[in-house]
């Protein structure tokens, strides 16, 4: 499952990957993601939740890369990922190196409490 929402007032976009994620789900949510990204102002932040993530189709990585490109072009400033177990990172560090500008701050945290501190929320 894939879920995305935004807090426009705080300029935070939230994305959660839950259980087994399929390419079909990501494609189905593509327009919603474009809309949410379009509502953000340059300098916005992204909170990504992998705490309930189990697996994803290999093909999802291309779709996630395209979304990262959209985020990058919209002016993202900070990406905070909640990954309680580093062994369950589906390859976000590698994708980030290819799809985000060098000045985008990338942080991986083990908990939402830590992520909230990084985001200042």
User: Which residues sit opposite 79 in a β-bridge?
Assistant: 46, 106
Joined together, the tokens standing for residue 47 give 């909170």
Q: Assess if CATH 3.30.750.24 describes domain 2-119.
A: yes
Residue-averaged pLDDT of the chain: 93
Q: Are strands 19-21 and 53-56 parallel, antiparallel or unpaired?
A: parallel
| pTM of the shown model | 0.92
Q: Indicate the pLDDT class of residue 19, thresholds 50, 70 and 90.
A: very high
Q: Indicate the pLDDT class of residue 62, thresholds 50, 70 and 90.
A: very high
Nearest to 15 by CA among 59, 81, 75, 65: 81
Q: What percent of the chain has pLDDT over 70?
A: 100
Residue 32 confidence (pLDDT) above 90: yes
Distance from the first to the final alpha carbon of the chain: 25
Query: Hey, is 38 helix, strand or coil?
Result: helix
Q: How much is the pLDDT for 94?
A: 83
């Amino acid at each position: 499952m894939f879920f995305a929402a935004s807090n426009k007032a705080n300029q935070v976009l939230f994305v959660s990957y839950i259980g087994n994620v399929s390419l079909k789900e990501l494609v189905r949510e593509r327009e919603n993601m474009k809309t949410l990204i379009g509502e953000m102002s340059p300098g916005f932040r992204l909170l990504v939740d992998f705490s309930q993530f189990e697996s994803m189709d290999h093909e999802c990585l291309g779709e996630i890369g395209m979304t990262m490109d959209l985020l990058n072009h919209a002016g993202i400033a900070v990406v905070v990922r909640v990954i309680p177990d580093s062994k369950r990172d589906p390859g976000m560090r590698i994708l980030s190196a290819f799809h985000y500008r060098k000045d985008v701050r990338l942080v991986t945290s083990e908990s939402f409490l830590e992520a909230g501190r990084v985001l200042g929320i």
